[in-house]
Structure 1
Amino acid sequence: MSSPVAPGRSTLDLRTLTPARVALGRSGASLPTRPLLDFTLAHARARDAVHAAFDAEMLIAALGALGLAAVSVRSRAPNRKDYLRRPDLGRQLDDASVEHLATVATTPGRLAVVIGDGLSPTAVHAHAVAVLTSLLAHLAEDDAVAIGQIVVASSARVALGDEIGAILGAEMVVMLIGERPGLSAPDSLGAYLTFAPKPGRTDAERNCVSNVHQAGLSHDEAAFKIAWLVREGLARQVTGVALKDESADRSPRRIGAV
């Protein structure tokens, strides 16, 4: 028979295991001053992350320093205000970007990588290049998987990768994008993988590796999961609900080359 737990003990212990706001206490009918100030600061950081300016040129330069060429595109959202109010505009390339991608889509590869600002440019600036660098190292273990093109997309939603991948003729697209900021993680990066990308794909047809930030998945952990899903997705010719993340086994199966 287990010994009784002192009142509040389990809740107080939980605070050491999670950044979630639990056991904050109270002062009368309100929060104590310290938790209230912490909440206000976290909320301000989340808002700042959403409205941060996206520096596509900086990312392209950082990729270039690694010997990786990238092209820049943007969605139909003309500014951040319209991007937040009109999610549909963030899912479509503007005309100039469509024409530009068509000119570079001469040698399609099996995999295209898109880096988009999403709802947290702060996350992309902090993590995207490091995750991509680690991903390339993991993919180098399998010569059958090569990145055909890297695209940096401004005012991007996840589905923008579908149109980009279709124009480039990629078998799969990986979208690295800033996730909606939370009160404990304003700089969380996500990766979305879609096999046979084309406009109209649904979220059920994608795999997602999320919560890449200091207190979440490390860059290498995320890259390992993404590489596993890339190999398995290409081998099985599917992503989404039909492809379960079994990367913890660390033994990707070869289902047959595409």
Structure 2
Amino acid sequence: MHDDDPWAFLKTHTPARIAQGRTGRSLPTSALLSFQLDHARARDAVHSTLDTALLLNQLNEVHPSPVPINSEAVDRQLYLKRPDLGRKLSEASHTTLQQLAYHSRFDLCIVVADGLSALAINRYALPVVTGLVEQATTLNWSVAPLCLVEQGRVAIGDEIAHSLKADLVVVLIGERPGLSSPDSMGAYLTYRPRPGLTDESRNCVSNIRPNGLSHAFAIQKITYLLTEMKRRQLSGVLLKDDMPTYTLPHTSSPVVTVQSPETPD
């Protein structure tokens, strides 16, 4: 016999897997099937691939001549087994960036990487990139060529931005899928990026998706942090997020502003 869970009302407040009910000592069949479906979606997200051609065309409409980039991880299996290779530019990509050889610095570099959920990038990267480029234009900031990275992790953005001589970098990347969020995108921000930086040098705005942090507010939050980084000439744990909390919309998950060990990097 199926017993109703007295805590079922909590399900109206969170997408977390709580108050699933029970049949005897087990979960109801519907709850078990739901778990298996969400688990399959999370696994599929990890193995999803960028729609590279479409994204490059779309990014070109936002800011001319986006640059396709690859990490040293030559395929998905190697990427998952060797996280370190996802943090490094391939030799060909390094050469490509060297050939661009800009003499002046850029204010901002925007990097888009598949991370652990290319699904998230395919769905949500474009509106956030568009908004950030518009904000940069309003601030009279120069924007480096947009970079689209396959098999990339967070730290690869430091090497890219350093090669392009950018003062600030934003890495938009697919986050590790959860059972209720296979398509979550994160934004990782660094002041004066360069190879060798570690997690404490970065700030993060996470869970960017319709059921998490809206595109509009993510753009607002990222722009605020970038402006503070440029003004105060620092980032990471030294930069506190003092953006007024009353501007925060209702979301299903909190905003995280310091990178943790559970991120794609």
Amino acid at match of 2:20: L
User: Between Structure 1 and Structure 2, how many residues are aligned?
Assistant: 243
The question of whether the paired residues in 1 share the 8 Å contact of 2:203 and 2:235 is answered with: yes
Match of 1:91 in 2: 87
Any idea what the Cα deviations from partners look like across 1:85-144, whole Å, max 9, x if unmatched? 00000010011100100112314311101000000000000000111112223333322x
2:125 counterpart of 1:128? yes
- Report deviation, 1:213: 1.0
Any idea what the Cα deviations from partners look like across 1:155-176, whole Å, max 9, x if unmatched? 0000000111111111111100
Cα separation, 2, equivalents of 1:173 and 1:141: 17
Partner SS state of residue 144, structure 2: strand
Any idea what the Cα deviations from partners look like across 1:6-48, whole Å, max 9, x if unmatched? x965x32221010001111111221101111111111111111
The question of whether the paired residues in 2 share the 8 Å contact of 1:135 and 1:220 is answered with: no
Partner SS state of residue 54, structure 1: coil
Partner SS state of residue 227, structure 1: helix
Cα separation, 2, equivalents of 1:248 and 1:13: 31
Q: Paired residue for 2:220, among 213, 219, 224? A: 224
Cα separation, 1, equivalents of 2:101 and 2:192: 16
- Ranges in structure 2 where 5+ consecutive residues have no aligned partner: 248-265
- Report deviation, 1:209: 0.3
Match of 1:45 in 2: 41
Q: Paired residue for 1:81, among 73, 77, 82? A: 77
The question of whether the paired residues in 2 share the 8 Å contact of 1:190 and 1:211 is answered with: yes
Cα separation, 1, equivalents of 2:54 and 2:42: 22
The question of whether the paired residues in 1 share the 8 Å contact of 2:115 and 2:174 is answered with: yes
Q: Paired residue for 2:136, among 125, 134, 139? A: 139
- Ranges in structure 1 where 5+ consecutive residues have no aligned partner: 1-6, 252-258
Match of 1:55 in 2: 51
Aligned sequence identity (%): 47
Cα separation, 2, equivalents of 1:215 and 1:105: 41
Let me know the Cα RMSD of the aligned residues. Answer: 1.7
Cα separation, 2, equivalents of 1:154 and 1:238: 28
